[in-house]
A and B are shown apart, each in its own frame.
Chain A
């Protein structure tokens, strides 16, 4: 069999981002073992690469705004209210100011700050952002020479820049440059397939990713295409409908390798 006709696993953006952040570890470890064992080809469509890049940029800008609007302005504001100089070293009172700042956040803050699909669900777990900031302040305020507030904010921003930088470096290594996880495939999805998937309620991005896998199969870029996702709420519940509409099976990483044999 020529390599062009080999079955391909097309990874969803949710699998790529879970790989980058070490989430869904158990199912992804199983997937990687199966890929190595079966010599399976893993691919991502251009649309997945684009969505991952957009999400990373969106997250970066959101964290930047949050840092300025919630941490810099509100925590500094609390210091002014309590007549504490900004040159004083940070301590537990600043952690409590963070608690207050997050408590006062407009429930629609995420929706107002971020456009698109992300905002519609309002899915960003602000508690994780809050936990990151509190952990950071706890470590800094317990150090031998705790920084003053402006220094702490600079260091927190530098930490966020480092975390983003690590994420992008891993993305380049996994996908864009070294293809450690999957190889990007330039493929234009058929608009008819995209429309069929939209009708059953799939989000446009997901419809594009799945239709791209179908198009790769149709154009002979690969043999059977299987779409792999950890999106348990908006893709996997529709797996039968998707199969019926365009003939692509979407599955959990646990079962991906077995579906290539069908």
Chain B
């Protein structure tokens, strides 16, 4: 179960990081007087920066998720929120690449090119982690009495999330070009307009991704926390038993997750008419052929 635990922090911090670095940023304009060659100049600069620290963002996100699920009576909600948020901040602190990226967002060094860097970072990371994500859900299945079709809801979601990042990347790439045109670079209003146009295009995908991530977090945390023995080992249950979960709560969270995950897939697929963002995970012809034969047996 350890890989599964590590993935909880890794994926969810990244999903939060994406929102933090991409959506929770606002254009700003700053003026200062600088002295060059003994002469005072008024220097104006603009860029994008978030309104709060990432640590605060993680605390808030953790609180919202925990508040949305029922918990076993032996877990104190307030303590759990504090402990999980601290764990996530610790994972973030140890994640030097993510930390460096978000620090550059916080200091607003990146300007519009920073957005592209943010999206590229999270897309590459999700792509690189797909094997680890699938292995972690395989571990979760083997340590539980959950059905495999229940587990596939999560893995399908991660496939969709990866495709969503690819769709976001294509929008941000096009917008970055516009935001770096000389007209936009010399006029704050134009820069702001180009940024808002990008936000408008991105918002359905990002909002749907945001909802699906939240539902995935809520369901997965519910599954793990229902089986947790203590707050300290909240995400490290040795086994996962359905009998330890409230079936109504499980059904509610599962239904909400399936709806939002399907909605994200629909939005991304409709955005991607050319079919560029969903890629098959298995390419080995022999394995695909055996699997095709297995499925064919169902069609007779």
Residues of A bordering B, CB below 8 Å: 13-14, 17-18, 20-23, 55, 57-61, 63-65, 67-68, 72, 118, 121, 123-125, 128-129, 131-132, 135-136, 153-155, 157-170, 172-173, 177-178, 180, 230-231, 233-234
Contact = CB atoms under 8 A, between A and B. Distances in A.
Given A60-B148, A162-B281, A168-B156, A124 B294 contact: yes
Interface string B152-167: 1001100100000000
A155 B142 CA distance: 11
Contact of A68 (B142, B278, B293): B142
B250 to A, nearest CB: 17
Interface residues of B, number: 41
- The secondary structure that dominates the B interface is helix
Contacts of B286: 135
B280 interface: yes
B82 interface: no
17 contacts: A17-B296, A20-B295, A23-B293, A60-B149, A64-B147, A118-B298, A123-B298, A128-B293, A155-B135, A155-B138, A161-B134, A161-B137, A161-B151, A161-B152, A163-B288, A165-B155, A230-B299
A18 B299 contact: yes
A168 B278 CA distance: 11
Contacts, number: 149
B296 A61 contact: no
A22 B292 contact: yes
B104 to A, nearest CB: 34
Nearest to A164: B152
- The secondary structure that dominates the A interface is helix
B129 to A, nearest CB: 13
Interface hub of B148, B266, B275, B281 (most chain A Cβ within 10 A):
B148
A128 B294 contact: yes
Contact of B282 (A14, A131, A162, A178): A162
Contacts of B265: 172, 177
